[in-house]
C-alpha cells in the first residue's frame, strides 16, 4: 500500500496559533511533535518510500524540515489549491503510473488519531479488501455529537468479517448536514462520522473519476502521460489549475454506487481538531481542567485553554470556559464554545 498524506490545508480555524505561513499540520498542538510528524509516525509499518505528501508549494521548506525521511520524488506540490478531488486524483495518477494496480490510503496531516494500534489494524483490513474485492473502503468512527462540520455515512448490514472485525455495507453519504439533520442522525444510531480515511486501488478510484468527473479524468490522463518526464512540470502547471475546484466527497463519494463501498468501524480517538474547544477536549482529563502552555498563571479558573507563544506572561483570574491565545501574530479571546467561529475573522 502507498499512503498519501494531505498536508496542504491553510489552518484558518485555529488563528492566531495556526496561520497560512505555518498552518496547524505544522504546529505542535497536542504533543511535542507537529501533527504532520504524528501522522507519519502513525504509518511506521510502511517504508518512507511508500509515503507520499501532497502539499502547498509555499510549505515546501517546512516539509523538508519536518519530513526528512520522505523521498523528494514523493512530495507532490499542488500548482494551485483546487480542493481534495483534484489533489487526490493527482496522487492516484502518479501512484498508478509508478506502481500499476497498487492500493492507496488517504490520510489528513491535521487530524488527530490517538489509538495507533487500532488504526493500523483497521487500515490493514481495508488494504486487504481493496486488493481482494476492488472495493472502496472507509474507516469510520462513532458520532458523539451532532456536528455539522463533518460528513456522515449511513451504515447498512454486515457483509463480511475479517478476524473479529465486521465489514458493513453503505446506505448513503451525507456531506455536512444542518443541525436538525445531524441531531436526527445521532438519535438514529446507524450513522458514523466520515473521517476521510479511504483505502482503494488507484485504478478503482481513477475509474470513478472517469464515470463521475470525465473532464477531470481526461486532464489527469494528460498529466499521467507526462509525469516523471522532462515535460512533467510544464504539463502539470498548464492543466492542474484548470481542474474543477471541488471536494472528493461532492465530486465522487456522494455519486458512487453504495454496493462498491465497505465501511469499517473503528475506535480511533479521532478528531479533525477544527477548533480550540476540540484541542481542550482532547487534552483535558477532568471536566473543569485548565489546559495551558508557555508562560501562564491561572487563578480560580475552570475549563480554560490558555496558550502563551509570544514570550510573555499571560495571567487570568476567575475565568471559566474561555480560550486565550497569545502569539506574535495576534491575540484571541473568546468563549470556548464560540472558538469554532474563528474562521469568521478577517
Given 234, 252, 271, the domain boundary residue is 271
Looking at the structure, do residues 258 and 302 belong to the same domain, yes or no? Answer: no
Looking at the structure, do residues 308 and 181 belong to the same domain, yes or no? Answer: no
Looking at the structure, do residues 36 and 149 belong to the same domain, yes or no? Answer: yes
Looking at the structure, do residues 168 and 182 belong to the same domain, yes or no? Answer: yes
Looking at the structure, do residues 298 and 257 belong to the same domain, yes or no? Answer: no
Domain count along the chain: 2
Q: Which residues pair with 291 in a beta bridge?
A: 305
Confidence category of residue 9, pLDDT binned at 50, 70, 90: confident
Looking at the structure, do residues 155 and 243 belong to the same domain, yes or no? Answer: yes
Residue 179, classified by CB atoms within 10 Å of its CB into exposed (0-12), middle (13-18) or buried (19+), is exposed
Given 271, 286, 312, the domain boundary residue is 271
Query: Which strand (E) or helix (H) includes residue 343?
Result: none
**pTM of the predicted structure, to 2 decimals:** 0.92
Tens-place pLDDT, residues 119-167: 999 999 999 999 999 999 999 999 988 988 888 999 999 998 999 999 9
Tens-place pLDDT, residues 42-57: 999 999 999 999 999 8
Average pLDDT over residues 326-336: 95
Q: What is the CATH number of the domain that holds 24?
A: 3.90.550.10
Tens-place pLDDT, residues 182-226: 999 999 999 999 999 999 999 999 999 999 999 999 999 999 999
Phi-psi region of 16 (alpha: psi -120 to 50; beta: other; left: phi over 0): alpha
Phi, psi of 172 (to 5 degrees): -170, 165
Looking at the structure, do residues 47 and 191 belong to the same domain, yes or no? Answer: yes
Given 251, 271, 291, the domain boundary residue is 271
- CA-CA-CA-CA torsion sign (327, 331, 336, 338): negative
Domain encompassing residue 116: 2-271
Cα–Cα distance measured from residue 243 to residue 41, given in angstroms and rounded to the nearest whole number: 32
Looking at the structure, do residues 110 and 243 belong to the same domain, yes or no? Answer: yes
Looking at the structure, do residues 200 and 299 belong to the same domain, yes or no? Answer: no
Cα–Cα distance measured from residue 88 to residue 106, given in angstroms and rounded to the nearest whole number: 8
Confidence category of residue 10, pLDDT binned at 50, 70, 90: confident
Amino acid at each position: 500500500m502507498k499512503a498519501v498524506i494531505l498536508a496542504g490545508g491553510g489552518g484558518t480555524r485555529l488563528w492566531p496559533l495556526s496561520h497560512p505561513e505555518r498552518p496547524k499540520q505544522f504546529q505542535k498542538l497536542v504533543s511535542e511533535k507537529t501533527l504532520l510528524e504524528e501522522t507519519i509516525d502513525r504509518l511506521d509499518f510502511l517504508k518512507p518510500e511508500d509515503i507520499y505528501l501532497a502539499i502547498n508549494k509555499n510549505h515546501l521548506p517546512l516539509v523538508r524540515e519536518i519530513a526528512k525521511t520522505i523521498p523528494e520524488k514523493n512530495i507532490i506540490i499542488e500548482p494551485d489549491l483546487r480542493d481534495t478531488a483534484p489533489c487526490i486524483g493527482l496522487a492516484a495518477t502518479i501512484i498508478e503510473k509508478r506502481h500499476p494496480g497498487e492500493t492507496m490510503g488517504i490520510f489528513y496531516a491535521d487530524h488527530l488519531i490517538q489509538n495507533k494500534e487500532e488504526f493500523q489494524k483497521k487500515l490493514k483490513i481495508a488494504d486487504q479488501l481493496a486488493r481482494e474485492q476492488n472495493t472502496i473502503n472507509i474507516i469510520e468512527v462513532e458520532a458523539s455529537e451532532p456536528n455539522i462540520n463533518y460528513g456522515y455515512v449511513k451504515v447498512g448490514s454486515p457483509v463480511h468479517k475479517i478476524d473479529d472485525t465486521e465489514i458493513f455495507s453503505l446506505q448513503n453519504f451525507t456531506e455536512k448536514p444542518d443541525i436538525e439533520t445531524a441531531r436526527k442522525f445521532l438519535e438514529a444510531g446507524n450513522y458514523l462520522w466520515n473521517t476521510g480515511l479511504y483505502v482503494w486501488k488507484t485504478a478503482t478510484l481513477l475509474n470513478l473519476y472517469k464515470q463521475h468527473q470525465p473532464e477531470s479524468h481526461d486532464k489527469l490522463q494528460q498529466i499521467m502521460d507526462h509525469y516523471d518526464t522532462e515535460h512533467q512540470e510544464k504539463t502539470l502547471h498548464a492543466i492542474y489549475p484548470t481542474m474543477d475546484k471541488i471536494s472528493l466527497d461532492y465530486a465522487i463519494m456522494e455519486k458512487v454506487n453504495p454496493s462498491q463501498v465497505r465501511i469499517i468501524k473503528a475506535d480511533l480517538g479521532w478528531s479533525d481538531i477544527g477548533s480550540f474547544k476540540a484541542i481542550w477536549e482532547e487534552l483535558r482529563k477532568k471536566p473543569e481542567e485548565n489546559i495551558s502552555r508557555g508562560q501562564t498563571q491561572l487563578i480560580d479558573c475552570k475549563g480554560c485553554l490558555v496558550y502563551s507563544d509570544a514570550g510573555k506572561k499571560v495571567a487570568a483570574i476567575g475565568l471559566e470556559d474561555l480560550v486565550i491565545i497569545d502569539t506574535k501574530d495576534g491575540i484571541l479571546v473568546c468563549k470556548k464554545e464560540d472558538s469554532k467561529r474563528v474562521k469568521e475573522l478577517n
